[in-house]
Every structure is written in C-alpha cells, then in structure tokens.
C-alpha cells in the first residue's frame, strides 16, 4: 500500500515537472491533468471520496477542456 | 539568472511550508466541533453522509455564498464573451467512431452525475460533484459531436431555477421556524432515499445549477473559439 502511494506521488511530481518543461502546450495540459487525476486517487486513499470526485471532475476534466479551448485560440507551441 | 532566482525562492517557500506543516499532527482532530458532527450529525440532520450534513445543513449558508460566487463567475464570463459572439462557421464533423462513442457515453455519464447529486445525503458526493460530472458529459458532446449545442435558454432557466429553489427552501424555513435554511420537512428514516428533509431537495437544485452553469461556461468558451 505505502509502495503504491509512493509510486503515485512520484508519478504526480513527474507530471508536475513535465507540465512545466514541455514546449508543446497540449502535452503540458495533459500532464497537468495527470497531476489532478493522481491527486484525486490520493484523496480517495485518504478517505475523502467527496473531494476526490470534485477533483476528478473539475481538475481533470473541465479544467483540461478549458485549457485546450484556450490553446486552440492561441499558439500550440511555446516560443 | 531569472530561473536561478525563482528556483531559490521556490525552495525557500517549500522549506518554510514543510517546516510549518511538520508540526501539525496528520489526521488528528484539531477542533472539537468535528467530533460533534460525527456523533450527532445523523440524528440532527438525517443525512448519513456527514460531509453533506455539514455542507448543506450546518454550514448551509456558506454553501449559498459558494453557489453565488459560481453564479457571478458564470455571469461575468458570459457577459465578457457575449460581446464578440458571432455565427459559428460550418464545423467539420468528427469521425464516426468518435461520434458514436460520445453518443454512447453521454447518457451514462449524465445518469451517473444525476445519481451522485440525488444520493448526496447517502453516498459520497453531492450537488457540486454531480453537477461537475454532468457538465463533463456536455464537454464530451461538445468535443465529439461538434454540431450539437445545448440551448442557452434551457441552461439559464435551469440555473436560475436551481438558485431560486435553494433560496425559497431557505426562506420557507425562516417563515416556519425562524431560521434561514431550517430543515422543516420530517427527517424520515436514515439510509433511505427520501430522508434528511430538505437536504436532497437543495442538493438536487445545486446539482442542476452547477451542471448548467459549468456547461454554459464551456459552451461560451467553445462557441467563442470556433
């Protein structure tokens, strides 16, 4: 159990770093969505299913959609 | 140079936060009010889900404020984006597989979201979570079947109705018992769907309101971007 949670935390950190260094903004948004998704799994393990649900629906789904819509209006690649 | 400075600043913030958080005991009750909600929550509000009993009953007024904040945000976004609104150009349809997949998934996600907010007083979740899931179903439809649009009148009507039901339920409590948001309906048998008085009514109203608001925000943004 503790191994699995540590693995998730490491993955989450990798996702956060990747979101910062990707030049392709779509990939960066997907990496940020991964951070939200793993955060929601961790919330579930911490016995907060209500927060986990909100995090999965808003953090992983709606925020990603809004970011992607915004990127479609602007540049896909960071200068 | 800028990067080095920002990394140093971030490390200072990280060290400070971890030092201050290290002294907080993890998972221990720090106030006495939490234990009271756990002990008396089911008895006093009839809601088995303690989070719901706090969000809708004990702290119902805060939830009304939260819903108002979301409403103002959605209204402001609509006002800003509506200025430049124009007729959407002809959109190329998505591929057959994507369209069919979205059409199959859409009702399932909608039912799941409704289940979450209707059973808010029994199972984890509630109006906000259910509403967000319903809105994500609409996002799927927008991305997959791009020619479909929800009617703006329907979404704003549902949104206003949701807010109105919340406020009216609170005002009836004020008229009947002298407290805003008083739970004036009999609480019924805990663990059954029709229990907890006005909590399911309010959560269904919040579910519709949040769902239509978030779907409307996405609708505004997508319409603007095509």
What is the tens place of the pLDDT at every residue in B155-182? 888 888 888 888 888 888 888 877 787 7
Residue B88 predicted with pLDDT over 60: no
Retrieve residue B42's tokens. 């089911």
pLDDT at B192: 79
Instruction: Single out the residue of A56, A3, A2, A14 nearest to residue A33, CA to CA.
Output: A56
| A57 part of contact set with chain B, CB < 8 Å | yes
Question: ipTM score here?
Answer: 0.84
By residue range, what is the domain housing residue B215?
A: 2-225
Instruction: Report whether B164 contacts B67 (CB < 8 A).
Output: no
Question: What is the total count of domains within chain B?
Answer: 1
Q: How many CB pairs under 8 A join A and B?
A: 49
Among A53, A66, A69, whose Cβ lies nearest the Cβ of B129?
A53
**8 Å CB contact of A54 and B128:** yes
Q: What is the pLDDT of residue B127?
A: 84
A17 part of contact set with chain B, CB < 8 Å:
no
Containing A28, the helix (H) or strand (E) segment is: helix A25-45
Instruction: Determine the distance in angstroms separating the CA of B167 from the nearest CA of chain A, rounded to an integer.
Output: 24
Whether B117 shows a pLDDT value over 80: the answer reads yes
Radius of gyration of chain B (CA): 22
Q: Which two tokens stand for residue A30?
A: 């997907």
What local confidence, expressed as pLDDT, does residue B85 receive? 55
Q: Quote the minimal CA–CA distance from A62 to chain B in Å.
A: 6
Distance from CA of B172 to the nearest CA of A (A): 28
- Residue among A49, A62, A72 whose CB faces B136 most closely: A62
């Amino acid at each position: 159990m503790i191994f699995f949670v540590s693995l998730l935390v490491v993955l989450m950190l990798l996702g956060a770093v990747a979101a910062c260094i990707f030049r392709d903004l779509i990939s960066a948004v997907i990496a940020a969505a991964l951070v939200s998704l793993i955060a929601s799994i961790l919330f579930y393990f911490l016995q907060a299913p209500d927060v986990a649900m909100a995090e999965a629906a808003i953090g992983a789904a709606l925020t990603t959609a809004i970011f992607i819509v915004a990127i479609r209006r602007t540049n896909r690649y960071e200068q | 140079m800028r990067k080095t400075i920002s990394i140093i600043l971030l490390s200072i913030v990280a060290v400070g936060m971890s030092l201050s958080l290290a002294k907080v005991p993890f998972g221990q009750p720090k106030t006495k009010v939490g234990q009271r909600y756990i002990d008396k929550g089911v008895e006093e509000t009839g809601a088995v889900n303690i989070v719901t009993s706090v969000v809708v009953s004990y702290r119902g007024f805060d939830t009304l404020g939260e819903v108002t904040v979301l409403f103002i945000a959605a209204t402001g976004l609509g006002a800003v984006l509506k200025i430049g609104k124009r007729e959407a150009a002809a959109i190329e349809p998505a591929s057959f597989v994507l369209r069919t997949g979205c059409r199959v998934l859409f009702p399932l996600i909608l039912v799941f979201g409704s289940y979450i907010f209707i059973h808010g007083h029994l199972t984890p979740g509630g109006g906000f979570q259910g509403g967000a899931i319903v809105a994500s179903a609409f996002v799927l439809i927008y991305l997959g079947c791009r020619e479909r649009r929800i009617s703006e009148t329907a979404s704003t009507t549902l949104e206003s109705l949701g807010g109105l039901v919340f406020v009216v339920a609170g005002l009836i409590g004020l008229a009947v018992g002298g407290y805003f948001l008083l739970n004036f309906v009999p609480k019924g048998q805990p663990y059954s769907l029709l229990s907890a008085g006005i909590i399911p009514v309010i959560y269904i109203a919040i579910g519709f309101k949040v769902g239509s608001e978030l779907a409307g925000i996405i609708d505004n943004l997508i319409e603007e971007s095509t």
